[in-house]
Amino acid sequence: MKVIKNRKKIKRILKGSKSLSFIPTMGSLHNGHISLIKKAKRDKNKIIVSIFVNPKQFKNNRDYKSYPRNIYKDLNLLKKHKIDFVFLPSIKDIYSYKTKNKIYLNKFSKTLCGKYRPGHFEGVIDVVNRLVEIINPKKIYLGKKDFQQLILIKKHFSKNNIKIKIIECNTYRDSFGLAESSRNKSLSDNQLDIARKVAKILKKNKIIIKRNFGNYKLNNLKRQIKSLGLNKIEYLKLLNLKTLKYPKINEKFNIFIAYYLGKTRLIDNV
């Protein structure tokens, strides 16, 4: 496993590589990341994982500094899974050059997380665009837990005619049904228990909503979840995954949620 910390060096090392599978991360790796790696391995390309905590997608400097980090553990985990390359760029490496592609932010960025985190998706699209310009992979692997992010990256790639195949990967959940997230590591045991109950309630209520779509009141679900001891529910919405709008009867949909346990913000879609 080669660990590269310099933009110019990685471009030199990867020059001529035509079949790279790329997994962008902010580190603090968990089973969700490992599931992406396992899926990439099935494609039998060389795999590169980046670890970069992107300051431009955080609401403030406090959130950026408090994001969980453990680079030593991350590198050992990637070595165990026989990753070919790990890219550990500095902020200067990422942001000190002019990109070829102009950032495209679809109007879908204004809802869900985008409504409550101004500038977040501009930061996400910018850094992913920069990383793929540096690495030039054949494929990029992205999880469906961050569904809004996934859609916005797809629309940016399409708008700029970026010929990199996006591989959508199912959300990896623990044995209790909770979506794996680096932020889960910031939860106390009691908060972790609450988060798992939220996931269970969402799954159960999705079935109920399907059966009683016209009569179901989403506020009842909101009250049920809030009573578990959440500090705040930022949003709770139903969305058709294709139209990105409120679903009509008999249409497939997911329940989208963002909520706080203490100071930790969690998202999910079920």
- Give me the active site residues, please: 33
Residues 186 and 205: beta-carbon distance below 8 Å: no
Distances (CA, A) of 263 to 28, 37, 91, 111, 235: 18, 30, 26, 22, 16
- Give the separation between CA 217 and CA 256, rounded to whole angstroms: 15
The pair of structure tokens assigned to 5 is 């910390």
Residue ranges of alpha helices (H) inside 96-188 are: 113-116, 120-135, 147-159
266 and 237 in contact (C-beta within 8 Å)?
A: no
Residue 45: strand, helix, or coil: coil
Tokens, residue 132: 């793929």
Tokens of 258: 């963002």
Euclidean distance between the first and the last CA atom of the chain, given in angstroms as a whole number: 36
Q: Kindly tell me the number of DSSP H helices and DSSP E strands found in the chain.
A: 10, 9
